Amino acid sequence: MENVLEYSNTGAWVAIEEVAKQSGIAPIKTMEILGFLSEFEFIAFDSDKKAIKLIDLGKRFIKLPDS
């Protein structure tokens, strides 16, 4: 899960496909992780764009440095 969050810490929308590729996690598992993170409002999920963005709660919780 940390790999997914680290890669999505850009402040911009990131394609889900790109998150899976860069994190090295299978797309199906990536979607499961993103579903969990979205449910608990760590990330914003845009189904039209098929993209995610780390939001403030997620940044505070995992304490990643700003990109």
Which CATH number goes with the domain that contains 55?
A: 1.10.10.10
Residue 23: per-residue pLDDT:
83
Environment class of residue 43 by beta-carbon count within 10 Å: exposed (0-12), middle (13-18) or buried (19+)?
buried
The answer to whether the CB of 45 falls within 8 A of the CB of 33 is: no
Residue 67 within any structural domain of the chain: no
Q: What percent of the chain has pLDDT over 90?
A: 24
Residue 58 within any structural domain of the chain: yes
Residue 32: per-residue pLDDT:
93
Residue 19 within any structural domain of the chain: yes
pLDDT at 67 over 60: no
Residue 51 within any structural domain of the chain: yes
Number of domains within the chain = 1
Residue 34 within any structural domain of the chain: yes
Residue 9: per-residue pLDDT:
66
> Which domain covers residue 18, as residue numbers?
2-62
